[in-house]
Amino acid sequence: MTTVVLKTVCVLLCAVFISAQVMPMPDFNLEKMGGKWYLVCFASNAERFVTHLRADMKMATAEMVKLALLSDGSCFRMHHLAKKTEIPGRFVFDNELWGNTNDMRVVDAKFDEYAIVHTIKIKGGKSEILNKLHTRTRKIADDLKEKFKQFSLDTGILEDNIAILPMNGECSDDTVSPKLKKI
């Protein structure tokens, strides 16, 4: 039992250290990130993902929009208003629904095809990792699935916690939950 606990603690510490080292892509372009994306893969070490959410998740759409410049810098919107940092491709935001602080980094992208986003979520001094693969179409090439899977493993996420999401119908503002519309 002690060995299992020690191994788990080592994996978690390793994941936090690795996440802190994950940097945004060097040639991030905010203008090219805008537009419609499909969330096709999802990976996390969050307990709620492992125990509850994974079975219910389906492919989703996201509209990423650069907003007008505000007094504290320009913003990026993905269900949340995320503040851009001094590092291109890195954004921070608070999630009122989950009560956590998020450090989001676009780590790899071919803006007309895909974007891999790595987020460190912190709540009550505890951190969780969330990796997402967004694509411009619903189809995912096998090499891109493998690239996302390897990135997720490299950031400390167990293979069982990496999900290729099944297709879902298109969403519109009329079909979005009022809870999710709140920004």
Helix, strand, coil: what percent of the chain each, to 5? Answer: 30, 35, 35
Amino acid at 54: R
| DSSP secondary structure letter of residue 133 | E
pLDDT less than 50: residues of the chain: 3-19, 69-78, 171-183
Structure tokens of 90? Answer: 């890195």
Predicted pLDDT of residue 55: 64
**Residue 43: strand pairing partners:** 131, 162
Predicted pLDDT of residue 113: 96
Predicted pLDDT of residue 53: 58
Rounded to whole angstroms, the Cα distance separating 74 from 86 reads: 11
Q: 99: alpha, beta or left, given left = phi > 0 and alpha = psi -120 to 50?
A: left
Closest CA to 102 of 68, 124, 77, 127: 127
* Phi, psi dihedral angles at 161 (to 5 degrees): -100, 15
Predicted pLDDT of residue 52: 60
**Residue 128: strand pairing partners:** 121
Max CA distance (Å), the chain = 54
Predicted pLDDT of residue 30: 87
